[in-house]
Every structure is written in structure tokens, then in C-alpha cells.
Chain A
Amino acid sequence: METGTVTTANPLNVKAKKESKSKEIARKLLRSWTGVIGFSLIILLLILSIFGEVIAPFDPMDAQLRDRLLPPLTDGHLLGTDQLGRDILSRVIVGARVSVVIGLSTVLLAGLIGTIVGVIAGYYRGWIDIVLMRIVDVQLSFPFILLVLVISAVLGAGLTNIVISLALAGWVIFARVIRSEVLALREKEFITAAIATGVPKLQILVRHILPNIFTPIIILGSLQIGTYIIAEASVSFLGFGVQPPTAAWGNMLDEGKDYIFNSWWLITFPGIAIILTALGVNLFGDWLRDTLDPELKGE
């Protein structure tokens, strides 16, 4: 953390320190092969989601009914074509964006709601804690996907609505974890010490407690992204999510399921894409947890 106000006696020294810091992270990453795999998969996913249209060999929306249901490796269609003659590789590539956008924005929204609720419950305790945590308990007793379906059925389909329904179903996990972190933190001696120097309550929360729960939020968030991407695919598969003709892995599965017996490639490749994404995110999340965990940090 740079304070900006401070002039350092030896700026060269500081620079050397910073370099070693990024080197240290790289070293830690290279030491764990699961971390490397996860990181590479995430980078690939990000590249696909940003430059999808450029990379895709065909227009993902271009339906050539003449070429429908071509098996892989025919006529330049590496992964074949679907029931409308659209190139599956291109659709898988472009579909990455939907997953990334939904994964990221859901985790931001769910994380925000969950953190606010968790912090309030954990810091202020009392009846507000009881009320909020019972809401969380009730919500946790419903299956996640069912809840997402119910909320998106009420809100209607579409990208924004699927994000909202995923977040409304998913914030409880954040609230639980953050609350327990805050509960432990508020009893820490350095918080008492901060009160003893005359810091007001709200500032204690914002300046002294929040920065300390940043790491668990990041770790939990990175792991939850995988869950949300899979959930989006499931909901789209059930027809509530991203609507055709937009290419999304979930609705590709949905459309392809009718052809499962004679054209296996329709659902296999988007399925593999989902698996690889979830795998990458989870591997990376695990690595992040191992690296950032304050208990292990000193090692």
C-alpha cells in the first residue's frame, strides 16, 4: 500500500522491493501446477470473451441450413455445425463472453449484498443480526438452482435478470462467511486498541475491519464465480436464462439436447467449455486461497 505522503530515503530500494514482490507472486504461482493450469484457463477465457468475434473462424449467428449438423472436421468447421448450420467452434468462443460477464457481475453484486449484510450482522450484533441470519438460514434451506429459477421466472429472461436472480440466490453464502470473519475480528485486540485511540464506531468498521476481510471476500468470490457460471448454464439449459439466438453455453446445450443421439458434438463442446471454465476458476481460487490466507502468508 502506497501512502503517497511519504518520501523514501532510498527510492531505488523501494523499486527493488516491488520487483521482488511480483517475482514472489510469480514464483508462488509456478510452484503450484494446479495454479498454473487454473491461471492459464482463466487467461484463455478472458481473451476469448474480449476478442471472441475476431478469433472466431465463422460468424456465430450465420445460419447455413445447407450445412446443418455437419460433424466435426468437415468443410473447415473444426467442431462441426449445429441444427441451423452455425459453426459450433465460433459459438463456443463467442459464448465465453456471456459466461464471463455473468460470472463477474453476479459475483460483484452477490458479494456486495452479502458483504453489507454480513458486516452489519457481525458488527452490530443484537436483533439485527438475528433477523438477518434467520433470513439467510431460510434462504439456504432452498436448493440454489430452484431459487434461481423461481426468481428468474418472476423477473423474466435476459442477461440482466439472470444476473440479478443469481445474485439474489447467491449472496447468502457471502453474508455467512463475512459475518463470521467480522465476529472474529471485532474481538481482536487491535480493534480495542483502535477504539482506545478514540476512533468512532463507523470508522472502526470501515477503516479497520473492512480491509481485514478483503482477502476472504476475494477468495470466496473467485470460487463462487465457477458456481455462477455453471448455474447460468443450467438455467439457460432450462430455458430461463440467456435467450437464443445469443450464443451462450447453456442454451447451446438446451438446443443441442434434441440431437444428442445422432449429433453428439452439439452438446459435447459447450459442455467441455463449461467444465474447463469451472475447473480453471476453481483451481485458481484454490491457489489464491492458499497464497492469500493470512495464516499461511508468513511461510
Chain B
Amino acid sequence: MSDILLEIKDLGIQFNTGKGPIQPIRGVSFSLKSGETLGVVGESGSGKSVTSLAVMGLLPEKKSKIVSGSIHFNDEDITKLSEKQYRKLRGNEMSMIFQEPMTSLNPVFTIGELLSEPLKQHKKMSKKERKEAIINVLKQVGIPRAEQIINEYPHQLSGGMRQRVMISLALLCEPKLLICDEPTTALDVTIQAQILELMKEIKAEKNMSLLFITHDLGVVAEMCDRVVVMYAGEIVEVAEINELFDQPLHPYTQGLIHSRPTNNSRKSALYSIKGQVPRPEEIGIGCTFANRCPHAFEKCLKETPPIFEKGDHLSKCWLQDSKRQAVMK
């Protein structure tokens, strides 16, 4: 087995809408090493969630299809798996934590019944073993009174507790890959910090790989080793975490970092990137960010930039074109 757990190559996804097909994901490539935490950031509508759903094989079957590229998980192209084969991976080798702990737990089941689901699907265990495993994992995620919680219903728990239950649901079968789709967005800040701390601990303990999807750069700085910045369905920048914050290359990333509140700018208005993410049907030729970019020049509007590499630091911006840089100097 190679060091790389998940490799996405040139992924393109097409949605069939009433107005004709659109491509919310175009040419996305990145890889995730085992034990690594990779952050995926971007505004709403940038394609973060669609990418993660594609990895889990949860895209709506009839309305969407993968039109190009591949997703390799453990050296196997999972885009070609049958539904049945995929089912063996889900919840077992790869799990997902959803954004809304309030709506992600089925209200008619007790916590115990909910948590026994992945074990029933993937592991051959007796009822007693299952109960033990569930109580164990609940204790791991820091739920007090685990023995009683398993008899309670989701609505009896607070938001933070429910997210802990969601995490334990994802951890039960000890997956190699854990996808977190904005796991702390719906929680208040103190709980958020607890949950992030918890996820870090668990990750270190189990040596899992984390694909961490968020729009919160603070969370990214806290959690991730490397970051993929997405914009309008494309990757615009990939960098190691410190490099990204110190030397963001793409104007979009610069804008994102710039628009965070800091201690010393408390009284002034926050910086914001003007305009909105173009909708998939609005994307034409040229750089997708050009219409909002403070540095845009003629070429940006006419030609789509390729990905420029600077060591491990990738960015999709004409500013990085060495010819241009040469001219500027």
C-alpha cells in the first residue's frame, strides 16, 4: 500500500438541472496521505461539499454523474465501484461527519440503536459486544453517562453532545478516512473548540486521515497540515498550512485571509472580497476569479490559467506565470 490514501485526479462532476447540464466541479485534483489532515476551504458554492459527497459516493444518482477523472482510495478507483461494493467502504473504511448534528440523527432511534447500525452492517458482533463497543466509543468522545445515553433519543441531547454522537458514529468501525463537512459550523464557539480538540486527539490516536471541509480559516489553521483552496468548482491553491498563511499566492486566498477579523482591526469594517462566486452556468472562458480579482489583467479574462507549481505550493493564477514575473522584474 502506498503512502497516499486518497487521490483525486482531474475530477469533473456534472449535474443535470432543468436548464441543462452544469459542472459544479471541474478538474479537481488533490491527494491525501495517510495520517494527514487536509483542509478544503472556500466560500459557499465553491464545490467543497460536492467533492466530499463524490468521495463518499453520495451524489444523487439520477441527477449527477462523474464525467471525468478518478478517485483512488487505497489504490482502487472507487468511481467504478458498484453500489454494493461501495456500501462496504462507507461507514467502515471511510466515514463522514455532517454539518448539522441537529438533523443528522434519526429522531425515532435511541442513540444506542443509531450507533449499532454501522456495526451491524460491517462487523459480526454479538449484541453484548456491540453494546460494549458503543459505550467505549462514546466514552472516547467524552460523553458522560454513556450507559444511560444509549437509551436516550437525539432530541434529549444538546448540540455539542449530538455532534459527539455523530463523531462516535463515524469512528465506530475505525475508518482510515474521515470526512468532516463543516463539523463545527452549527456549534457555538466553546463547544467548537472542544470538538476540534477531540478530533485532533482521536486522529492522533487512530492514525486516521482527515478531509476537513470548512469555510473557517481559523479552524483550518488549528487543524490542518495542508490546505486546498477551492473557488467556483476549481482548485485555486494548494499549500502547506504555514506557507499558505505566510505567503498566499492566489489573490482569492489572499482575500480570504485578509477578510478574517483580527485583534487590532476590531473597530474598522471587515475586508470583503467584492462580488459573489459565479454560479456554475455563468462560468465562461478565462480565470473564474477574474471578475472579482484586484490584480486581474487582460490575459485573465481571455485564457484559463494552468496550475503553476512552486515546490509543493500550487496555484492557479497568471500572476505566477514565470514569463510575466520575468517581465515585471
Contacts of B131 in A (CB 8 A): 5-6
CA distance in complex: A50, B254 (Å):
79
CA distance in complex: A198, B89 (Å):
7
CB distance from A199 to the nearest CB of B (A): 6
Contact of B150 among A6, A188, A294 (CB under 8 A): A6
Is B288 an interface residue when CB atoms closer than 8 A count as contact? no
Contacts of B92 in A (CB 8 A): 198
Cβ–Cβ contact A189 & B100, under 8 A:
yes
Contact of B103 among A189, A201, A212 (CB under 8 A): A189
* Given the contacts A198-B92, A200-B87, A5 and B118 also touching, CB distance less than 8 Å: no
CB distance from A280 to the nearest CB of B (A): 29
Is B108 an interface residue when CB atoms closer than 8 A count as contact? yes
* Given the contacts A6-B112, A6-B151, A188-B103, A196 and B121 also touching, CB distance less than 8 Å: no
Cβ–Cβ contact A194 & B106, under 8 A:
yes
Cβ–Cβ contact B98 & A3, under 8 A:
no
Cβ–Cβ contact B127 & A5, under 8 A:
yes
Cβ–Cβ contact B148 & A193, under 8 A:
no
Shortest Cβ distance from A125 into B: residue: B62
Cβ–Cβ contact A126 & B117, under 8 A:
no
CA distance in complex: A6, B130 (Å):
11
Is A8 an interface residue when CB atoms closer than 8 A count as contact? yes
CB distance from A193 to the nearest CB of B (A): 5
Convert B91-112 into 0s and 1s, putting 1 for each residue whose CB lies closer than 8 angstroms to a CB of A: 1100110111001111111101
Cβ–Cβ contact A190 & B106, under 8 A:
yes
Shortest Cβ distance from A298 into B: residue: B155
Is A9 an interface residue when CB atoms closer than 8 A count as contact? yes
CA distance in complex: A198, B119 (Å):
10
Is B58 an interface residue when CB atoms closer than 8 A count as contact? yes
Contact of B108 among A9, A189, A192, A212 (CB under 8 A): A212
Convert A181-218 into 0s and 1s, putting 1 for each residue whose CB lies closer than 8 angstroms to a CB of B: 00000001111111111111100000010011010000
Cβ–Cβ contact B117 & A189, under 8 A:
no
CA distance in complex: A192, B92 (Å):
15
Is A154 an interface residue when CB atoms closer than 8 A count as contact? no
Cβ–Cβ contact B104 & A193, under 8 A:
yes
Tell me the chain A residues, 269-299 only, with Cβ under 8 Å from chain B: 294, 298
Is B169 an interface residue when CB atoms closer than 8 A count as contact? yes
Cβ–Cβ contact A198 & B91, under 8 A:
yes
Contacts of A193 in B (CB 8 A): 96, 98, 104-105, 166, 169
CB distance from B148 to the nearest CB of A (A): 6
Is A16 an interface residue when CB atoms closer than 8 A count as contact? no
Contacts of A195 in B (CB 8 A): 58, 90
Contacts of B112 in A (CB 8 A): 3, 5-6
CB distance from A26 to the nearest CB of B (A): 21
Is A1 an interface residue when CB atoms closer than 8 A count as contact? yes
Cβ–Cβ contact B87 & A198, under 8 A:
yes
Cβ–Cβ contact A194 & B108, under 8 A:
no
CB distance from A37 to the nearest CB of B (A): 31
Is B113 an interface residue when CB atoms closer than 8 A count as contact? yes
Cβ–Cβ contact A198 & B107, under 8 A:
no
CB distance from A219 to the nearest CB of B (A): 16
CB distance from B121 to the nearest CB of A (A): 4
Contacts of A191 in B (CB 8 A): 106
Cβ–Cβ contact A3 & B155, under 8 A:
no
Cβ–Cβ contact A190 & B96, under 8 A:
no
Convert B23-61 into 0s and 1s, putting 1 for each residue whose CB lies closer than 8 angstroms to a CB of A: 000000000000000000000000000000000101000
Contact of A197 among B100, B108, B147, B169 (CB under 8 A): B169
* Given the contacts A189-B100, A196-B56, A199-B117, A294 and B90 also touching, CB distance less than 8 Å: no
Is B122 an interface residue when CB atoms closer than 8 A count as contact? yes
Contacts of B105 in A (CB 8 A): 190, 193
Contacts of A190 in B (CB 8 A): 103-107
Is B88 an interface residue when CB atoms closer than 8 A count as contact? yes
* Given the contacts A3-B151, A5-B127, A9-B147, A197 and B117 also touching, CB distance less than 8 Å: yes
* Given the contacts A211-B108, A212-B107, A196 and B58 also touching, CB distance less than 8 Å: yes
Shortest Cβ distance from B93 into A: residue: A198
Tell me the chain A residues, 34-69 only, with Cβ under 8 Å from chain B: none
CA distance in complex: A199, B115 (Å):
12
CA distance in complex: A224, B117 (Å):
36
* Given the contacts A188-B103, A196-B90, A8 and B148 also touching, CB distance less than 8 Å: yes
Convert A1-43 into 0s and 1s, putting 1 for each residue whose CB lies closer than 8 angstroms to a CB of B: 1010110110000000000000000000000000000000000
Interface-central residue, B83, B99, B117, B131, by most chain A CB under 10 Å: B117
Convert A224-259 into 0s and 1s, putting 1 for each residue whose CB lies closer than 8 angstroms to a CB of B: 000000000000000000000000000000000000
CB distance from B172 to the nearest CB of A (A): 8
CB distance from B119 to the nearest CB of A (A): 9
Contacts of B89 in A (CB 8 A): 198
CA distance in complex: A192, B148 (Å):
27
Contacts of B108 in A (CB 8 A): 1, 211-212, 214
Contacts of A192 in B (CB 8 A): 58, 98, 104
Tell me the chain B residues, 64-105 only, with Cβ under 8 Å from chain A: 83, 87-92, 95-96, 98-100, 103-105
15 contacts across the A-B interface (CB closer than 8 A): A1-B109, A3-B110, A5-B131, A6-B112, A189-B98, A192-B58, A193-B166, A194-B106, A194-B117, A196-B56, A196-B95, A196-B98, A197-B118, A198-B91, A212-B107
Chain B positions within 8 Å of A, measured between CB atoms, are 56, 58, 62, 83, 87-92, 95-96, 98-100, 103-110, 112-113, 117-118, 121-122, 127-128, 131, 147-148, 150-151, 155, 166, 169-170
Given contacts A5-B112, A190-B106, A199-B91, 6 further A-B contacts (CB under 8 A): A5-B128, A6-B112, A189-B100, A189-B104, A196-B96, A198-B91
